């Protein structure tokens, strides 16, 4: 192997750069479309053959490239988007490195045609990756630019063999188009594959047009289950759509996050989202969202990765807390019936008494609310619910509750069933019914059956009560502060000097969470006091994990998460169990508590607590009106 230093040829240098920028057809399309958007295009037309391996053609109606600049456009590190080092501190364009076209032309046959006016006359520059000499010639072209890329990796067979099947490469291209389509609602985008139309997305910047495009990209089911959020604070703004927890996914395939219009992947963002959904997602499930973060360009560094997929925030903790807090509150504010009320306020009246009348009913211990400074009192209250189910005489253990016979003929109105009079009072059409309606019966000792304005509601009473108790315990714990207790024998921790220094700098973090630590040497810490809730827990490992988080991310949520885990377990054991008979007033009290409890759509483990069957669907079951 030669040991002399030599200058790389332009072709080899560009091919090395192409290894960072050009991975597959999708990455070529990403770079070309970003250039088009930076040029002010409002329409993008993409045509590909063989998944983009054989041909990629991108046409836009942007401002175009001047004749004298066309050869320079294919040169490495040539760009019109930055002019000085200071420009990198506040990058406002999608592209800025000035190497995409040069890299692409080094591994493919590329032709770039452009015009800056409406005369129909333009110029074309082409290169085929051998000597990188650009050939300039006149060409007919409307205002804008067309980039035609053929035979990707024709001169680098080692790279070409790593490409996947046509279907796989097309799916990557399709995903790239979708991600870009969600970043710019004001731009029309079309995609054709092997001569057949795939997408034709029309531009529009109104709320309706935006949601139409989101539904086209993510599917109508996403929009039907999505919450629109728009929060602004401390110079940060986050807006977009996040699906309710019930619309979780088996994989993270519906997660779109943008920073100042740029699609990114970032561990700070991922952690904030994961924390916001921690209490409401079932194990192994993933949330779905389309979210946009807007902040001062100087507050984010986009020049940390060749493909510009990753960013670095100047104040990552501020961004993390803002994202987490905004999403956490948006999910907490969802109550049963909220979406129906917003969409169809005129349909919120059915027969029955009003929610206000129900408020005066007797409430079971389900809604007991202890004083904030007494968690033990709360557990004692809910411990009284552990009463064994007593079956009725002649009814086998575990048998379903017998449904009383109908005492009146069907007259087309709600039937009145013997023993159910307390559940469904006389019709009062002028009064609003609560979102979860009125209880009718208990099924198999597990479910509550209720009638709502829209149809039938079925509630898992244990799951629902578990969430109610959990939220009450969290609120009581927060209001009463973190109670702590000293250790009879302090726990000694051997840590690194860096970790010990970190503790001294951030000791207030531990103090606020009920810990009292003391530095006993250059590499030794003593734990003298711990939160009461964590008595018996692995304190040593928890402190080490918090120190690790503080060093890596500047903050930690581990102690709070651990406390919530304990409260969740206590709530689970303190909730009403299956096969416990509830009276109708008790069932209605549970429904009313659900309507006023945060995150009541899911239990502490992420399982749904209730479901609804609309009257129209039930009519279809029995072919009514057909």
> In the structure, what pLDDT confidence band is assigned to residue 353 with cuts at 50, 70 and 90?
very low
Q: What is the pLDDT of residues 75-85, one digit of tens each?
A: 877 777 666 76
In-domain check, residue 67? yes
**226 and 135 belong to one structural domain:** no
In-domain check, residue 460? yes
Q: What whole-number distance in Å separates Cα of residue 181 and Cα of residue 189?
A: 7
The pLDDT value given to residue 426: 40
pTM summary value: 0.73
CA dihedral 507, 510, 511, 512 (to 10 degrees): 120
In-domain check, residue 227? yes
Q: What average pLDDT does this structure show over 370-399?
A: 38
29 against 158, higher pLDDT: 29
**540 and 605 belong to one structural domain:** yes
pLDDT at 465 over 50: yes
The pLDDT value given to residue 323: 96
Which of 10-19, 92-101, 519-528, 561-570 bottoms out in mean pLDDT, i.e. has the lowest? 10-19
**315 and 187 belong to one structural domain:** no
In-domain check, residue 399? no
Q: Please report, for the domain that includes residue 306, its CATH number.
A: 3.30.230.10
Q: What average pLDDT does this structure show over 146-154?
A: 95
Last residue of a domain, one of 196, 218, 241: 196
Q: What whole-number distance in Å separates Cα of residue 553 and Cα of residue 541?
A: 18
Q: Which domain holds residue 253?
A: 207-332
Give residue 9's Cα distance to chain centre. 46
HSE value, Cβ hemisphere, 13 Å, CA-based, for 143: 12
Q: What average pLDDT does this structure show over 30-43?
A: 94
**215 and 191 belong to one structural domain:** no
586 against 361, higher pLDDT: 586
Last residue of a domain, one of 196, 231, 262: 196
> In the structure, what pLDDT confidence band is assigned to residue 307 with cuts at 50, 70 and 90?
low
In-domain check, residue 397? no
The pLDDT value given to residue 345: 30
pLDDT at 202 over 90: yes
The pLDDT value given to residue 423: 41
Q: What whole-number distance in Å separates Cα of residue 615 and Cα of residue 580?
A: 29
In-domain check, residue 406? no
Angle between helices 316-332 and 539-553 (to 10 degrees): 120
Q: What average pLDDT does this structure show over 384-399?
A: 38
The pLDDT value given to residue 17: 64
Q: What whole-number distance in Å separates Cα of residue 446 and Cα of residue 464?
A: 11
Q: What average pLDDT does this structure show over 323-343?
A: 75
In-domain check, residue 540? yes
**506 and 438 belong to one structural domain:** yes
Which residues lie closer than 8 Å to 496 by C-beta, 6 or more apart? Answer: 523
Q: What whole-number distance in Å separates Cα of residue 6 and Cα of residue 98?
A: 24
Which of 245-254, 425-434, 498-507 bottoms out in mean pLDDT, i.e. has the lowest? 425-434
pLDDT at 389 over 70: no
In-domain check, residue 407? no
**233 and 181 belong to one structural domain:** no
Give residue 95's Cα distance to chain centre. 26
The pLDDT value given to residue 390: 38
Structure letter (DSSP) for residue 180: H
Q: What whole-number distance in Å separates Cα of residue 482 and Cα of residue 164?
A: 55
* Contact (Cβ atoms closer than 8 angstroms) between residue 277 and residue 291: no
The pLDDT value given to residue 90: 65
* Contact (Cβ atoms closer than 8 angstroms) between residue 389 and residue 445: yes
27 against 309, higher pLDDT: 27
- Greatest mean pLDDT range, 166-170, 347-351, 512-516, 543-547: 166-170
**104 and 136 belong to one structural domain:** yes
**354 and 286 belong to one structural domain:** no
> In the structure, what pLDDT confidence band is assigned to residue 541 with cuts at 50, 70 and 90?
confident
> In the structure, what pLDDT confidence band is assigned to residue 6 with cuts at 50, 70 and 90?
confident
Q: What is the pLDDT of residues 291-303, one digit of tens each?
A: 999 999 889 988 7
Last residue of a domain, one of 163, 196, 229: 196
Q: Please report, for the domain that includes residue 40, its CATH number.
A: 3.30.565.10
Return the closest-CA partner of residue 132 out of 156, 157, 173, 104.
Answer: 104
* Contact (Cβ atoms closer than 8 angstroms) between residue 238 and residue 274: no
138 against 312, higher pLDDT: 138
> In the structure, what pLDDT confidence band is assigned to residue 386 with cuts at 50, 70 and 90?
very low
pLDDT at 337 over 80: no
**185 and 257 belong to one structural domain:** no
**55 and 26 belong to one structural domain:** yes
How many domains, in total, are found in the chain?
Answer: 3
pLDDT at 438 over 50: yes
**311 and 357 belong to one structural domain:** no
**217 and 271 belong to one structural domain:** yes
């Amino acid at each position: 192997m030669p040991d002399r230093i030599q200058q790389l040829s332009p072709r080899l240098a560009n091919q090395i750069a192409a290894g960072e920028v050009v991975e597959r057809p999708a990455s070529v399309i990403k770079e070309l479309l970003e250039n088009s958007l930076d040029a002010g295009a409002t329409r993008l037309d993409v045509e590909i053959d063989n998944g983009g391996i054989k041909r990629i053609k991108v046409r836009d109606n942007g401002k175009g490239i001047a004749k004298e600049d066309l050869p320079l456009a294919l040169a490495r590190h040539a760009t019109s988007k930055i002019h000085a080092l200071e420009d990198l501190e506040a990058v406002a364009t999608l592209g800025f490195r000035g190497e995409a076209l040069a890299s692409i032309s080094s591994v493919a046959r590329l032709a770039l045609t452009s015009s800056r006016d409406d005369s129909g006359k333009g110029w074309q520059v082409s290169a085929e990756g051998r000597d990188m000499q650009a050939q300039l010639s006149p060409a007919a072209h409307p205002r804008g630019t067309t980039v035609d890329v053929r035979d990707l990796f024709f001169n680098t067979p080692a790279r070409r063999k790593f490409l996947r099947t046509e279907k796989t490469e097309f799916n990557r291209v399709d995903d790239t188009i979708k991600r870009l389509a969600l970043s710019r609602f004001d731009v029309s985008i079309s995609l054709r594959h092997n001569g057949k139309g795939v997408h034709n997305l029309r531009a529009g910047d109104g709320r309706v047009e935006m949601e139409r495009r989101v539904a086209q990209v993510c599917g109508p089911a996403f929009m039907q289950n999505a919450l629109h959020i728009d929060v602004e604070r401390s110079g940060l703004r986050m807006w977009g759509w996040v699906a309710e927890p019930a619309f979780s996914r088996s994989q993270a395939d519906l997660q779109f996050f943008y920073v100042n219009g740029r699609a990114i992947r970032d561990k700070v963002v991922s952690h904030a989202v994961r924390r916001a959904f921690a209490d409401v997602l079932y194990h192994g499930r993933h949330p779905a969202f389309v979210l946009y973060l807007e902040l001062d360009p100087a507050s984010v560094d986009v020049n940390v990765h060749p493909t510009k997929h990753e960013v670095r925030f100047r104040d990552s903790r501020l961004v993390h807390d803002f994202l987490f807090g905004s999403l956490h509150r948006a999910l907490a504010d969802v109550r049963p019936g909220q979406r129906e009320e917003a969409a169809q306020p005129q349909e919120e009246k059915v027969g029955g008494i009003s929610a206000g009348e129900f408020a005066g009913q007797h409430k079971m211990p389900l809604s007991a609310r202890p004083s904030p400074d007494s968690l033990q009192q709360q557990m004692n209250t809910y411990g009284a619910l552990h009463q064994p189910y007593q079956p009725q005489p002649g009814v086998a253990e575990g048998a379903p509750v017998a449904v009383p016979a109908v005492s009146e003929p069907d007259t087309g109105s709600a039937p009145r069933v013997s023993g159910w009079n307390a559940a469904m009072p006389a019709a009062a059409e002028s009064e609003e019914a609560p979102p979860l309606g009125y209880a009718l019966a208990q099924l198999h000792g597990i479910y509550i059956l209720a009638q709502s304005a829209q149809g039938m509601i079925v509630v898992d009473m244990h799951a629902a009560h578990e969430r109610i108790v959990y939220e009450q315990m969290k609120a009581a714990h927060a209001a009463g502060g973190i109670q702590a207790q000293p250790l009879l024998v302090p726990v000694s921790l051997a840590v690194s000097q860096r970790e010990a220094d970190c503790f001294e700098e951030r000791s207030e973090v531990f103090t606020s969470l009920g810990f009292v630590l003391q530095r006993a040497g250059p590499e030794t810490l003593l734990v003298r006091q711990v939160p009461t809730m964590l008595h018996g827990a692995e304190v040593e490992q928890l402190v080490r994990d918090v120190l690790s988080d503080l060093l890596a991310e500047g903050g930690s949520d581990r102690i709070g998460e651990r406390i919530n885990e304990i409260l969740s377990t206590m709530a689970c054991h303190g909730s009403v169990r299956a096969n416990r008979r509830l009276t109708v007033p008790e069932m209605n009290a549970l429904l009313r508590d659900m309507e006023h409890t945060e995150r009541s759509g899911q239990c502490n483990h992420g399982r749904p607590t209730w479901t609804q069957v609309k009257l129209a669907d039930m009519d279809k079951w029995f072919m009514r009106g057909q």
